């Protein structure tokens, strides 16, 4: 007999469904994603650290579990909510089912509820804390008050790597040390040696490093608390600041080091949390959004020519456009709500975007930004030689 599982929101609303995945009662920040595909990437995206994730697409798990598609070493979500999950997945790459994966990762799941009604509740009230219960407590009011105390803390530290790793483009595929063995020398691209990029891991998705490698870069991934002095001592051609979870303002030490990197003269490219931390290092502000942008269909408009791109996003905070300094230009804006989606820093070779140009499984409209980063490294390198 299937067990019941309940979701209690901090506004007192209760949803009753059925349990799958791991056992246990958990508390998290309840958010939703509108992506129709890529549930494995969602489950393994470190930016969901501390959150209970709702999938708005009604059927999840139909192509099973494919480890090659994971975006990090494990899942960092607190809980997972779907309308229905597929118990008989079919895909030639499939290596398991969603229920087993959640059990292995220690993540409780909830299914069989009206995810449309739950999503509407989050849209109307805004992001709320929630808790899974196997049995509802007798004193719901006390449980609600306890829920309101929950806050995501130490998010970046909990998701960042704890050691240096390297990624190179070998045999026409990116290879990540620690996941694959390799010994061959880096390939050359168009007769030129690969660009050396340091990726500051703030809770990075694997595909950022993969895309850099595909674009002819050798990538060294370093932990979040690596200092600017240590990074610059590696003499990189460029520095990538990754995505990551939590409130960007909770990272003052990292922000200070990023500020040093921003004015170092080395090209810097920030994505998602990296974008926010760059802005904070320049004296701008960030603020929490009502329910954030999470999904693979977010339209952004490029300011210089008005062209619109469809992007993948996963964030609950945004840069306050009006707080940017004079030397920072807004380069992209969200076509739905006008929030800041990109910044170009005119005083140094630095730019950032809120969305994910490396999106896997898509869309790939903005992948050209990796080409822009490589070109920027080449231009700066030529001037440095001169």
332 Cβ contact partners less than 8 Å away, ≥ 6 residues apart: 300, 301, 302, 303, 340, 341, 342, 353, 354, 355
Residue appearing with tokens 């449980």: 143
φ and ψ of 276, to 5 deg: -65, -45
Write down the catalytic residue from 224, 272, 318, 340: 272
- What is residue 190's three-state secondary structure? coil
Task: Say whether 272 is catalytic.
Answer: yes
Rounded Cα gap, residues 303 and 188, in angstroms:
35
Structure tokens at 187: 């390939």
- What is residue 160's three-state secondary structure? coil
Outline where the chain has alpha helix (H). Answer: 39-43, 98-105, 115-125, 140-147, 155-159, 206-214, 228-233, 252-262, 273-281, 368-385
Nearest CA-CA partner of 271 in 297, 296, 239, 302: 239
Instruction: Give the Cα-Cα-Cα angle 156, 260, 186 (nearest 5 degrees).
Output: 75
* Torsion angle (degrees, nearest 10) of CA 361, 367, 371, 374: -60
Contact of 261 with 249, CB cutoff 8 Å: no
Write down the catalytic residue from 10, 41, 341, 358: 358
Task: Say whether 86 is catalytic.
Answer: no
Cα Rg, the chain, nearest whole Å: 21
φ and ψ of 382, to 5 deg: -65, -45
Rounded Cα gap, residues 243 and 33, in angstroms:
17
Q: String of b and e for 194-218 (b: at least 16 CB within 10 Å)?
A: bbbbbbbbbbbbbbbbbbbbbbbbb
Q: String of b and e for 95-125 (b: at least 16 CB within 10 Å)?
A: eebbbebbbebebbbbbbbebeebbebbeee
Structure tokens at 163: 């050691």
Nearest CA-CA partner of 16 in 8, 24, 28, 27: 8
Contact of 359 with 296, CB cutoff 8 Å: yes
Task: Say whether 383 is catalytic.
Answer: no
Known catalytic residues?
A: 272, 356, 358
């Amino acid at each position: 007999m299937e067990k019941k599982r309940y979701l209690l929101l901090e506004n007192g609303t209760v949803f009753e469904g059925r349990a799958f995945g791991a056992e246990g009662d958990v508390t998290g920040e309840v958010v939703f994603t509108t992506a129709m595909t890529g549930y494995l990437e969602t489950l393994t995206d470190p930016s969901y650290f501390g959150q209970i994730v709702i999938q708005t697409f009604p059927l999840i798990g139909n192509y099973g579990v494919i480890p090659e598609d994971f975006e990090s070493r494990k899942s960092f979500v607190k809980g997972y909510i779907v309308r229905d999950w597929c118990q008989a997945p079919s895909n030639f790459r499939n290596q398991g089912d969603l229920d087993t994966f959640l059990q292995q990762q220690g993540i409780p799941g909830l299914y069989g509820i009206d995810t449309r009604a739950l999503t509407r509740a989050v849209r109307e009230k805004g992001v709320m804390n929630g808790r899974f219960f196997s049995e509802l407590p007798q004193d719901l009011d006390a449980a609600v008050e306890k829920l309101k105390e929950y806050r995501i803390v130490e998010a970046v530290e909990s998701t960042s790597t704890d050691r240096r790793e390297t990624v190179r483009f070998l045999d026409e595929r990116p290879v990540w040390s620690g996941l694959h063995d390799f010994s061959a020398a880096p390939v050359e691209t168009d007769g030129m040696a690969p660009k050396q990029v340091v990726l500051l891991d703030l809770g990075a998705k694997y595909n950022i490093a993969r895309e850099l490698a595909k674009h002819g870069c050798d990538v060294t991934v370093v932990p979040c608390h690596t200092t600017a002095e240590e990074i610059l001592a590696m003499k990189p051609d460029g520095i990538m600041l990754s995505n990551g979870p939590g409130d960007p303002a909770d990272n003052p030490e990292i922000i200070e080091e990023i500020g040093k990197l921003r004015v170092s003269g080395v090209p810097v490219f920030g994505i998602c949390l990296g974008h926010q931390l760059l802005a904070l290092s320049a004296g701008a502000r960030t603020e929490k959004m009502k329910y954030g942008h999470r999904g693979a269909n977010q339209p952004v408009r490029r300011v210089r020519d008005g062209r619109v791109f469809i992007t993948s996003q996963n964030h609950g905070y945004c840069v306050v456009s009006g707080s940017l300094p004079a030397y920072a230009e807004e380069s992209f804006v969200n076509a739905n709500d006008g929030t800041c989606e990109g910044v170009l820093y005119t005083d140094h070779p630095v730019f950032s975007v809120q969305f994910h140009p490396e999106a896997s499984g898509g869309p790939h409209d903005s992948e050209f930004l990796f080409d822009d980063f490589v070109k920027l490294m080449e231009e700066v390198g030529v001037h440095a030689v001169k």
